[in-house]
Structure 1
Amino acid sequence: KPVVVLDAGHGGTQSGAVSLTGKLEKNFNLAVIQKAGALLMQAGLVDVIFTRTEDVTRGLQERVDIAERAKANLFISVHGNSLPADYPNRNKVNGSETYYSRAESLPLAQIMHKHLVAATGFKDNGIRSKSLHVTRESSMPAVLLEVGYLTNPGNESAMYSEQLQDSLAREIVAGIMEYLGL
């Protein structure tokens, strides 16, 4: 069976972004990853490895090492985006983005981004190449999904709803299945 690593960004002492209403990014990331993992395990077509299943601190290289040790076929990391307090009109910036670092990850990024935008209904901010540790240092195709902006009121309220989280989990699974041809 293919091995899929699901990475809930941040955790433990690293809260990630803090939303407009004080919610922590790490909790959003973990909720979505747990839902996606449960659906994947239920389907039984892949082996699922989590970089964390609770609120613990994991370093970036530790996340990569987990994927490498598991000889993973894919690495999917989930995050919520944000902008600094002094960013002009920061509460107006919104939308979903998918990041990859290596050329061999682009096909995965294209499929996952299509599903990400379908899940959120947010503005499509596109697929972007960026040198991020977990997508750069992993040897398997790897993407980082920036679901939406926690500094945007509409994105934030949607992201903390069960409806969006359930939809996102289903679409992450659909993207993984499509990429793997399952």
Structure 2
Amino acid sequence: MNSQHFYKIKITTKILLSFVFFTAFLFSGTVTFAQKKDFVVVLDAGHGGKDPGKVGYRNIKEKNVALKIVLQIGKLLEKEKNIKVIYTRKTDVFVDLWERGSIANRANADLFVSIHCNAHTSQAYGAETWVLGTHANKQNFEIAKSENSVILLEENYEEKYKGFNPNKPESIIGLTLMQEEYLDQSIQLASIIQHRFKTELKRKDRGVKQAGFVVLYQTYMPSVLIETGFITNKIEGPYLNSNAGSKKIANSIYKDIIQYKNQLALNSVADSDIPKKIDEKPKESTSQKTVSNNSNIIYKVQIAAGARKLTTKSYNFKGIKNVERVKVGRIYRYYIGSTSNYKNIKEKQKYARKKGYKSAFIVAFKNGNRIPLEKVLSKS
């Protein structure tokens, strides 16, 4: 199969999926849970079989730690009503990256969570959660390259990944396009995960990061890759490998998924948010503040996103006024606030959460283009 034919198939698949979601939307009030009753979570234990992943302190293998954590997360989730759990692997077998994403896509999953462990020549430690994005620096690229190199162990990888070389930065540049509309939700979950690691488990927070992971690129839903810790660290490695440690990590991630699911329901634009009679004709919303070429950074708070195009009147948003609507792909994003003062936008975020938008989060723009908030804050 040549690369041109492959991309035609990918595009056709996206169109068909778009039609399915659009049709479901017409017959259901809520976009997020339309078409099906269960919230489907795909749990992916990294590596496996002939691919041990990273090998750490006292020969601790990443594949074993990842599987142990995944099985414990799954066991907890399976006790929840209206949640269906699907595993990419439940035993020590090799599953190629392509198939991992395909499993999630075939299941029409709502969430894809991939579990991994980190390694380093130093005694580095701590947890970090990744979402798809072009590598922001050499270090991020090297991490993605390490995970993506698994494809070299797959049969016929030259044909399956024609044109993709995990060792070349240019191969990663286009990976974000397919996941762009899910990036906000991926970051939302990643932020929840890191917050709980830090506050409840007292793990070192290495942050939410972006890089070109093939396993995330393959999925058509919000997706995260969690590096639960460093198995090369003399303390953290045995902790992750222990029954007690892996159980705590699994329980934390389980809580994160439940919190994300609940927040998603709260922040979905549903028919229940729209009055039976609308007296005013919907009008296009414009930005509350024009960003000029001389502006530096503009912050906004995203309160909701969905396929429904709503008039930006306060009655549609729990009494919140001055809502801005922006269309990105097939998704409408709804913002409040537009300021270069970070303190002021934090107050806007608190206000939105008090009004019921519990997962409202801050986004940053430079010269009208959205940029990673972490990048802005790191330079502050």
Q: Do the two structures share a fold, i.e. TM-score over 0.5? A: yes
Whole-angstrom CA distance in 2 between matches of 1:33 and 1:5:
10
Whole-angstrom CA distance in 2 between matches of 1:41 and 1:30:
16
Whole-angstrom CA distance in 2 between matches of 1:5 and 1:119:
24
Helix, strand or coil at the partner of 1:77: strand
- Among residues 80, 84, 93, which one is paired with 2:124 in the alignment? 93
Confirm or deny: 8 A CA contact 1:119 1:168 kept in the other structure: no
| Alignment of structure 1 residues 24-35 onto 2, 5 Å | 24-35=61-72
- In structure 2, the residue matched to 1:176 is 257
Whole-angstrom CA distance in 1 between matches of 2:246 and 2:199:
12
Confirm or deny: 8 A CA contact 2:57 2:238 kept in the other structure: no
Helix, strand or coil at the partner of 1:37: helix
1:42 Cα offset (Å) = 1.5
1:172 Cα offset (Å) = 1.1
Whole-angstrom CA distance in 1 between matches of 2:114 and 2:68:
13
Change (3 A) 1:81 1:120: farther
> Is 1:142 the counterpart of 2:213 in the alignment?
no
Confirm or deny: 8 A CA contact 1:41 1:48 kept in the other structure: yes
Percent of pairs with identical residues: 35
1:60-98 Cα offsets, whole Å, 9 max, x none, are 111000000000000001111012xxx4xx1x2111010
Whole-angstrom CA distance in 2 between matches of 1:150 and 1:97:
13
> Is 1:71 the counterpart of 2:111 in the alignment?
no
1:113 Cα offset (Å) = 2.0
Whole-angstrom CA distance in 2 between matches of 1:120 and 1:130:
25
Whole-angstrom CA distance in 2 between matches of 1:123 and 1:135:
24
1:120 Cα offset (Å) = 4.4
1:88-145 Cα offsets, whole Å, 9 max, x none, are xx1x211101000152321121112223345643211111011101222211000000
Instruction: Please give the TM-score of this superposition, normalised by the length of structure 1.
Output: 0.91
Whole-angstrom CA distance in 2 between matches of 1:7 and 1:22:
22
AA paired with 2:260?
Y
Listed as ranges, the gaps of 5+ residues in structure 2 are 1-37, 133-179, 266-380
**Comparing 152-161 with 66-75, which one deviates more in the overlay?**
152-161
AA paired with 1:108?
L
AA paired with 2:226?
L
1:20 Cα offset (Å) = 1.4
Whole-angstrom CA distance in 1 between matches of 2:221 and 2:201:
26
Listed as ranges, the gaps of 5+ residues in structure 1 are none
| Alignment of structure 1 residues 11-50 onto 2, 5 Å | 11-50=48-87
Change (3 A) 1:154 1:37: same
Change (3 A) 1:16 1:120: farther
> Is 1:82 the counterpart of 2:119 in the alignment?
yes
- In structure 1, the residue matched to 2:45 is 8
User: RMSD across aligned C-alpha pairs, in angstroms?
Assistant: 1.4
Helix, strand or coil at the partner of 1:42: coil
AA paired with 1:24?
K
Helix, strand or coil at the partner of 2:78: helix
Confirm or deny: 8 A CA contact 1:33 1:169 kept in the other structure: yes
AA paired with 2:252?
E
> Is 1:158 the counterpart of 2:239 in the alignment?
yes
Confirm or deny: 8 A CA contact 1:118 1:171 kept in the other structure: no
1:163 Cα offset (Å) = 1.4
Higher relative contact order (CA 8 A, sep 6+): 1
Change (3 A) 1:116 1:51: farther
Matched pairs, number: 176
Whole-angstrom CA distance in 1 between matches of 2:96 and 2:199:
30
Structure 1 residue ranges (4+ consecutive) displaced by more than 3 angstroms after TM superposition:
116-120
1:12-51 Cα offsets, whole Å, 9 max, x none, are 0000011110021100000000011011102233000000
Whole-angstrom CA distance in 1 between matches of 2:78 and 2:117:
24
